[in-house]
Structure 1
Amino acid sequence: MSSAKQVTWPQLLAFCGPCLPFAALGLPLAVTLSEYYITYIGISIAVVGYVFMAVKLIDIAVDPLIGWAMDRTRTRFGRFKLWIALCLPVLFISTGFMFLVPPGASALYMGVWLLVVYIGFSMAALSQSSWGSVLTTDYDERTKVFAFWQIGNIIGLLCVVSIPVIAQAIGQSYQTGVQWMGLFIMVTLPVMIGIALWVVPEKTSDAPTHDVRLGAYFDMIRRPNVIRVLLADLLMGLAPGIMGVLFFFYFMQTKGLTRFECTIAMALYFVAGLVGAPLWNWASKRYSKHKTLVVSSVIFAALYGLLAFVPAGNFPVMAMAVFLAGIPYAAYLLLTRSLMADIGDEVLLETGHDQKGTLMSILSATTKLGYAFSVLTLSALAALGFDNKAAHNSDQALMWVEIFFVGLPVVFLLLGAWAMKSYDLTPDRYAQIQAALKAKGLSRDTGASLGH
């Protein structure tokens, strides 16, 4: 039965459509491109690690500016829809330069276009997550929106991770497969963004814009619940970040598996996320979001630790272990964003200003910071004697690969669960916030604003 609190199925599907190209770009940025520029373009592992780290830190500094600008944007077209439209040309052009890279490209070439693509990706990720946060004000329906968002991301990941597999299966090179990844992103970007802009409306904020300050970014960071969510997001994001950066090195160098087998296993990891997303959505309705986030992180740590015990050369066992680790992987992204959207309504009640763009930019910054530190493990491993080009690395170097790949993520996941133990924006408290917002005239019926 339709209600004012529900987002329709066509709107959900259209809203998730841009996740395909966005996630298809996000995976290579986190996993494929660093290893590709090392192995096939010929830039040293240490230089790639430092360049990726530097670019991501610059990009993190840009996020609050984008979030602040989005919170000040008011147009008939929509504030978040406008920004998702603006990201299209930036991503389209920079994706072409990053993926269709000429042989022998320099570190400067890589750094410049990496920065441009990251800025475009920030515009895309922040505008879409902020847009999702205003599609509904219902506690559980909001989690549903982000669960579908996560499913859309996983489908995009599966599409892009399958491209090199298909390329190699029909006799093409891995390099060609990477180029096809870029072409897939460039084709789907205008199609999926166009459909979303056409089908999905945007709730116009009732809050004024004149007092939305850039300093609000720092005001938000001081809020206890924001600190808890940010810390959890940072720590929980380090695990899949490190996994993505070191995935091929770990399983090829320490477990003796082929690149093709590793690519298949990575696809299974994301397939498991399709199982996990609806599971965690259901659990959050029954046990609350923050409790589900804690439990999912502990389960993730336990299952991820099993990767250390995968027998060398045993692909079936490795594939099963990676699949199991992928089930809890889906939880933290959708739950932290839904929790941050709830905090945005609390901020609106207390301040009278809608600062969801700022809050989402803070959350995006911690996610990126986690991935930046993850990429830095490449430079750290190089300093510890690991050589990705060597036929055989020393036992000590491989030991460090295993410690970085398995040990660090398990510790970070457990710390992330600990960070959420004092979170206090419960479902009952959120219901009180929504009632107070309606009483103040700061929350309109969602159904009225979602209609065309």
Structure 2
Amino acid sequence: MRILTKAAYAAPSVGLAALGLPLLIYLPDYYGTVVGLPLGLVGTAFLVARLADIAVDPVVGILTDRTRSRFGRFRLWLAVGTPLLMLAVHYLFMPPPNAGFLHLALGLAGTYTAWSLCFVSHLGWGGTLSEDYDERNSVFAWWQALFLVGGLVVTALPLTPALRATPQQMLPAMGWFVLLSLPLGVAAALSLVPEHRGSRRRAPARRDYLKLLGQPSITRLLAADFLSSAAIYAGGAMFFFYYGTFHGLDRLQTATLLFAVKAGAMVGAYAWRRLGTRLEKHRAMTLAFGGLATMYLILHLIPWTTLPIGLIILGAFGVFLSADPVLVRSMMADLADEHRLATGTDQMGILASLLSVSDKLAAAVGPALALTALSTAGFDTRAASALQTPQALTVLAVAAIWVPMASHMTSAFLVSRHPLTAARQQSVRSELAVLD
């Protein structure tokens, strides 16, 4: 597959990433500090919007599995979802002065629903671009690399002097970047990348969808992805609070650490693509989850108060973060082949939607539990670290470090038992070629 094809396919990831980071870190902080909503209420808004939106993902997956169109099954729904997402982003990222809980809840619901259309269709499309075990790593490495480009741009916006002085302008600036980059990326993908329709011997029936979660390899991979993602999202919600409290960094310095994480993840996108081939995907993923657990210990137990040391540590942390987006998605595409061989149905769309459901559940549960626990412990977001109670400091450390570390260790154990090796996947592809 040509590099231009993989780059064009990955182009929408820039806008999707630019949306993801503000939703994870800056929007909760903005609506909690600038708008003045209580942290518990902000966490509730994110939880309710995410849970209500989760039902959309399987619907999109089923639609893509059943869609018959000359335009393609995945490309069609990506084209439909893009303008809807742009409208929702404008509403959520440019709130009026009197915005309250209802505005936040409606904006989140619209944004997440439209994001489902774009994300699931784009992810499923990537799983069909190549049937090769190793090249699938390359496809999703490009996806992750351009995703990180969008994240790096958004992470750099708070470092801009004009936006640094006026935080009320920062969120709209992030929104405008999404509104510009997303349609350009989608236009590049739709115009330059054909959709490989594959061979579907029969349309999926209801029983085929029910059988999916009964397959141990699929449920194990989803569980590992969920636990790891929940840990990352919870840590993201705690990011400014943790580094301001335990390491004495101001908001600008903490935003610089976020940039280091994204820069490290850029290196990781290439590294895990190579390691996934050399070690096989499940072994490389086990190494990555174990590495993340170790990095949490280093972050918390090794004393550091200077920004350069923090940049090095967070950069190394970012390297490990890229493994999941590259390898877990590639592994799920391999499982879609195995499932098609066993059942005779192509259900790449619903499997992509299950990865999206896993991600959204993690993004809802992780920050909601962490923020609620922090609020219950009496953590004061506007007080200096010396004025926080011992209970609040303990809960902050547990939510930001110890629970995420345990989650990654569990994910490492789960993915180490993944049965679909390179040799087995090659055998599956050979059998499918005969049947097709």
Q: Which TM-score band applies after superposition, normalised by the shorter structure?
A: over 0.9
Q: How does 1:38-57 map to 2 (within 5 A)?
A: 38-57=32-51
Identify if the C-alpha distance between structure 1 residues 171 and 67 changes in structure 2 by more than 3 Å, giving closer, same or farther: closer
Does residue 385 (structure 1) correspond to residue 371 (structure 2)? The answer is: no
**What is residue 400 of structure 1 aligned with on the other side?**
395
How much does 1:318 deviate?
Answer: 1.9
Mapped to 1, the partners of 2:279 and 2:325 lie a distance apart of: 17
> Is 1:416 aligned with 2:408?
no
> What is the alpha-carbon distance in structure 1 between the residues aligned to residue 329 and residue 371 of structure 2?
29
Report how far residue 91 of structure 1 moved: 0.8
Q: Which runs of 5+ in 1 are unaligned?
A: 1-6, 442-452
Identify the range of structure 1 (360-369 vs 17-26) with the bigger mean alpha-carbon deviation.
360-369
Query: What's the CA shift for 1:356?
Result: 0.5
Is residue 74 from structure 1 mapped to residue 68 from structure 2 by the alignment?
A: yes
Q: 1:407, 1:417 → 2: CA distance?
A: 16
Give 1:1-400 correspondences, 5 Å limit: 7-166=1-160, 168=161, 172-208=165-201, 211-309=203-301, 311=303, 313-376=305-368, 377-391=370-384, 392-400=387-395
Q: Distance in 1 between matches of 2:428 and 2:201?
A: 19
Shift of 1:420: 1.5
Deviation of residue 170 (structure 1)? 6.5
Q: Distance in 2 between matches of 1:171 and 1:373?
A: 31
TM-score by length of 1: 0.93
- Secondary structure (helix, strand or coil) at the match of 1:212 reads coil
Q: Distance in 2 between matches of 1:155 and 1:214?
A: 39
Distance in structure 1 (CA, Å) of the matches to 2:163 and 2:271: 36
Contact 1:25 1:185 in 2 (8 A): yes
Counterpart-to-counterpart distance in 1, 2:345 and 2:210: 15
Q: Aligned equivalents of 1:31 and 1:215: distance in 2?
A: 39
Identical amino acids, percent of aligned pairs: 33
1: distance between equivalents of 2:246 and 2:98? Answer: 29
Letter paired with 2:127:
S
Do 1:276 and 1:331's aligned partners in 2 also have CA atoms closer than 8 Å?
yes
| Change in CA separation of 1:314 and 1:171 when aligned onto 2, cut-off 3 Å | closer
Q: Do the aligned residues in 2 keep the contact of 1:311 with 1:317 (CA within 8 Å)? A: no
Query: 1:432: which partner in 2?
Result: 427
Structure 1 Cα separation of the partners of residues 166 and 326 of structure 2: 35
What is the distance in 2 between the residues matched to 1:12 and 1:438? 23
Q: Distance in 1 between matches of 2:365 and 2:46?
A: 10
RMSD: 1.4
Distance 1:309 1:215 in 2: 50
Check the 8 A contact 1:256/1:312 in 2, yes or no: no
Preserved contact between residue 233 and residue 332 of structure 1 (Cα < 8 Å):
yes
Residues 1:365 and 1:342: Cα distance change in structure 2 (over 3 Å) = same
Residue 336 of structure 1 aligns to a residue whose secondary structure is helix
Cα distance, 1:395 vs. partner? 2.6
Could you say what secondary structure the match of 2:55 adopts? helix
Residue 311 (structure 1) shift: 3.8
1:348-398 alpha-carbon deviations (Å, 9 max, x no partner): 111111000001111111121111111111112101211213343213212
Matching residue of 1:447 = none
Could you tell me whether the CA contact under 8 Å between 1:56 and 1:118 is conserved in 2?
Answer: yes
- CA contact under 8 A between 1:270 and 1:326: conserved in structure 2? yes
CA distance in 2: counterparts of 1:214 and 1:245, whole angstroms: 38
Deviations 1:117-169 (A, max 9, x none): 00111111111111110101000001110111111111110011111211x35
Q: Is the 8 A contact 2:120 2:349 kept in 1?
A: yes
Contact residue 163 and residue 170 of structure 2 kept, 8 A: no
Task: Give distance in 1, aligned partners of 2:185 and 2:417.
Answer: 39
1:91–1:340: structure 2 CA closer, same or farther, 3 Å change rule? same
Q: Is the 8 A contact 1:293 1:332 kept in 2?
A: yes
Q: What is the CA–CA distance in structure 2 between the aligned matches of 1:227 and 1:413, rounded to whole Å?
A: 16
**Alignment partners' CA distance in 2, 1:387 and 1:121:** 33
SS of 1:136's equivalent in the other structure is: coil
Amino acid at match of 1:393: Q
Q: CA–CA distance in 2 between the matches of 1:397 and 1:12?
A: 47
- The 8 Å contact of residues 159 and 255 in structure 2, kept in 1 or not, is answered as yes
CA distance in 2, matches of 1:181, 1:152: 17
Partner of 1:3: none
Counterparts of 1:422 and 1:313, CA distance in 2:
39
| 1:235–1:330 distance in 2 versus 1, CA, 3 Å | same
Q: How far apart are 1:317 and its partner, in Å?
A: 2.0
Q: Secondary structure at the match of 1:34?
A: helix
Q: Tell me by how many angstroms 1:208 deviates.
A: 4.5
Alpha-carbon distance between aligned partners in 1 of 2:209 and 2:118, rounded to the nearest angstrom: 19
Counterpart secondary structure, 1:137: coil
Counterpart secondary structure, 2:238: helix
Pick closer, same or farther for the CA change 1:396–1:220 going to 2, 3 Å: same
Give the C-alpha shift of residue 244 in structure 1: 1.1
- CA change 1:310–1:34 in 2 (3 A) is farther
Query: Using the alignment, how far apart are the partners of 1:234 and 1:73 within structure 2?
Result: 28
Deviations 1:23-45 (A, max 9, x none): 00011111111111101111110
Q: Is the 8 A contact 1:276 1:327 kept in 2?
A: yes
